[in-house]
Amino acid sequence: RTVYVNGVFCPEDEGKVSIFDRGFLFADAVYEVVSVLDGKLVDFAGHMARLARSLGELAMAAPTSDDELLAIHRRLIAENALEEGAVYLQVTRGPADRDFLFPPQDTKPSLVLFTQAAALRDKPAARTGIRVVTLPDLRWQRRDIKTVQLLYPSMAKTEAKRRGADDAWMVEDGCVTEGSSNNAYIVDAGGKLVTRPLSHAILPGITRIAVLRLAAESGIAIKERPFTVDEALAAKEAFISSASSFVMPVVEIDGQPIADGRPGEITRRLRAIYIEEALKTAI
Ligand code: PMP
């Protein structure tokens, strides 16, 4: 694979970042993952807007313009002949002598990008649904910033696998915040789509924006409010959304089936129309 590291396109084993990089020492870094369908980027502008926001919240400089970032994404897709998968982008505050204090503004940010091939459209889990377990949300209180502090989500997903499930739904004050790397939704008894409102408690998913818009356009009623684990267990449907899973049914929570234990009607429809629109609008 060809990767991009600080201005250079090179083979993946030649890409190097300093051991003093603050991304490595302090997780002082933000990232984005843009999915690729038919060699094109899905919702690139949305991901760049969130990147700008993450950088702003941490007083980090933008590494380069969005046009340049688009050109880098496209060159990696071309060089790696990527048809389906994702482009990962990470910006760190850059290398500096180890100190908790942010270094002076002239520190050069590190910019790293690489591609990952993956089947996104045709996933067996989209037909069978995934199983989740609930775990306490032990992350920090600014989950709206897309930082690379991913240790707890990694622990949670590993614990979920250990328990025979696919992912964790994290819980705070009795309500589901989100999945380890995705936003969480249920469809209640009245057919209403329920998902947690944006706040510092969750990441503002780029896929979430599209899902809520497509649901509204399809005449599905939406209520943005926190929901409890008990509500989720009693729901008609449950699902997650993210750039890499699109819309993915959840059919079991803590070993208990949701409704009949099969992917729900609204979930399947939203997945289909999300993919249809993603294919049409990818650049
Ligand atoms: N929440 C968390 C914690 C995530 O890591 C992700 C994936 N980046 C999401 C939600 C979904 O965001 P997006 O739709 O932009 O991929």
Which CATH number belongs to the domain containing residue 41 in this structure?
Answer: 3.30.470.10
Phi, psi of 38 (to 5 degrees): 50, 40
Same domain, yes or no: 140 and 93: no
Same domain, yes or no: 234 and 266: yes
179 Cα–ligand 1 center, Å: 8
Cβ atoms of 249 and 267 closer than 8 Å: yes
pLDDT of residue 216: 98
| Predicted confidence (pLDDT) at residue 106 exceeds the cutoff of 80 | no
Which residue segment(s) compose the domain that 182 sits in? 124-281
Over residues 41-71, the pLDDT tens digits come to: 999 999 999 999 999 999 999 999 999 999 9
Whether this model's pTM surpasses 0.95: yes
Q: Which atom of ligand 1 has the smallest separation from the CA of 178?
A: 1
Same domain, yes or no: 130 and 111: no
Query: pLDDT band at 104, cuts 50/70/90?
Result: confident
Mean pLDDT within 208-219:
98
Substitution site in 147, 203, 211, 245 for ligand 1 pocket (most atoms within 8 Å of beta carbon): 203
Residue nearest to atom 12 of ligand 1 (CA): 205
Q: Residue 185 forms beta bridges with which residues?
A: 195, 239
Over residues 135-147, the pLDDT tens digits come to: 999 999 999 999 9
Q: Which of 9, 10, 48 lies closest to 30, judged by CA?
A: 48
| Predicted confidence (pLDDT) at residue 149 exceeds the cutoff of 90 | yes
Same domain, yes or no: 30 and 150: no
pLDDT of residue 192: 98
104 Cα–ligand 1 center, Å: 31
Domain stop point among 92, 117, 142? 117
Which residue in the list 108, 146, 223, 280 is annotated as catalytic?
146
Same domain, yes or no: 108 and 176: no
Query: pLDDT band at 207, cuts 50/70/90?
Result: very high
Domain stop point among 84, 117, 150? 117
